[in-house]
Every structure is written in structure tokens, then in C-alpha cells.
Amino acid sequence: MARTYLIGGNWKCNGTVQSVKDLCALLNKVEITSDKLEVVVAPPALHIDLAKSLLQKKIAVSAQNVSLTGLGAYTGELAAEQLIDFGLEWTI
């Protein structure tokens, strides 16, 4: 069984709309040709949708955080159900 390698980038609490656009444009110039490589980026929650819409499909988008409590009246949390519904397969 072949090993799959992972390249991940956590953007932490960095990025404006313009800087996310610029970084996505730069990442889209990278040609990912190996099936043994997964590339995942984790922008701040505010920029997940923008990054998903701009990045090539070979670059996955991850959440930086997921709540342990699930759906409910929890201010500022991201429930796993919401992330799955949004099409994310990764979280840090």
C-alpha cells in the first residue's frame, strides 16, 4: 500500500479578503500531479467560503476548529454537522 503524503497550511488568524485572494491565486499556480499527495489549507473561519470558491479542486480547505458540543446555542462555535454540510472533510 502506497503512502500518501500531506502538505498542510494553517493560516491562523491571518488574512484579509484581498490577501486570501492573492494567496489562493499563488496556490493555484502550483501543479499537483501526484496521487500520493494531499494538500490542505486552513484559513480563518471567515474566509473558508472564499478560499473554497477560489482554490483548485486538488487543494482541500479545512476548518481550524470544531466544537465538541455539536449543534445548539453556542456562540462562536463551529459544529461538525455544519462543517460537513458545508462540504469540508478536514479540521485541525
Per-residue confidence of the chain (92 residues) as pLDDT tens digits? 689 999 999 999 999 999 999 999 999 999 999 999 999 999 999 999 999 999 999 999 999 999 999 999 999 999 999 999 999 999 99
Q: Which residue has the cell 490577501?
A: 19
Please report the pLDDT score of residue 52 as a whole number: 98
Please provide the CATH number assigned to the domain covering 5-91. 3.20.20.70
- Domain residue limits, the chain: 5-91
Kindly report the number of other CB atoms within 10 A of residue 59's CB atom: 20
Amino acid at 15: G
Please report the pLDDT score of residue 16 as a whole number: 98
Please report the pLDDT score of residue 2 as a whole number: 81
